Structure 1
Amino acid sequence: MGIEYRWRAEVTDEELVELTRSHGGDPEPGWWTRVRAHSLGWMTARVPGLVGFANVAWDGADHAFLLDPKVRPEHQRLGIGAELVRRAAAEAARAGCTWLHVDFEPHLRAFYFDACGFRRTDAGLISLG
């Protein structure tokens, strides 16, 4: 399968809404239009349609934050998600970031720790909602 990975490639809100719905998510139309301005960048995977996406926010200096990685269900477990994360991390490093943070639900531990190489750390969280 010929997958095209691109950093900061054009992606529409409609494509992200459809990608999110493809795996049971509840997308909010207009989300990407609002979020895009706060991103260091994003990685897309296409074959030729959008099959994967990962957003990287940042603090403008050392810290980058992996957000909203997603791959269509029929393309999962093929290494696409791990490759999106690997390439997004490389782009964040190229931009001068020294840390890439991620948080996730427990059932995704194997993906982030084993497939993507994240390590366990202490972290804190406050629920604001």
Structure 2
Amino acid sequence: MIDYRIRFAVDDTELSTLHALAFESPVEVQPWAARLDRHALTWVGAFSNNQLVGFVQVCWDGGVHAFVLDTAVHPDHGRQGIGKQLVLRAAEEAKAAGCEWLHVDYEPHLTDFYVKACGFTPTEAALLKLRD
């Protein structure tokens, strides 16, 4: 059974480890709690037996636009609908906060997830890399 928690108390090491596993990168502990408190409208965690197995955050412009970031599910818990539930619950929170639009950027291999599973409408966007 998965327990979804809104704006849960974040452990930087635990979330950094989940993020590294989900994105197949080395673990580098990041100051997640401070960043979320400062920049996020909300965040949602998925827990199995009190272990963090999924995460998503929503940042915003302070008005009507919100942005999905860092959707991550532990590889051992993939393909169980956890990511979809995280995004849908995050969307509910953004809507409740008065946002009218929820944006997400994603790589082409995630189109089915965000468009078909989560209900986003594809749009054109552009990206400018600011650092090498």
Q: Which runs of 5+ in 2 are unaligned?
A: none
- How far the C-alpha of 1:106 sits from its partner, in A, is 1.1
Q: Which runs of 5+ in 1 are unaligned?
A: none
Contact 1:44 1:52 in 2 (8 A): yes
Aligned pairs (5 A) from 1:82-101: 82-101=84-103
Aligned pairs (5 A) from 1:1-129: 2-23=1-22, 24-36=24-36, 37-48=38-49, 49-129=51-131
Q: TM-score scaled to structure 2, two decimals?
A: 0.91
SS in 2 for 1:104: coil
Identical residues among aligned pairs (%) = 50
- How far the C-alpha of 1:41 sits from its partner, in A, is 0.8
Cα distance change of structure 1 residues 21 and 30 upon mapping to structure 2, 3 Å threshold: closer
Aligned-partner Cα distance in 2 for 1:73–1:19: 9
Q: TM-score scaled to structure 1, two decimals?
A: 0.93
SS in 2 for 1:91: helix
Q: Which amino acid aligns with 1:117?
A: G
Number of residues paired by the alignment? 128
How well do the aligned residues superpose, as a CA RMSD in angstroms?
A: 1.3
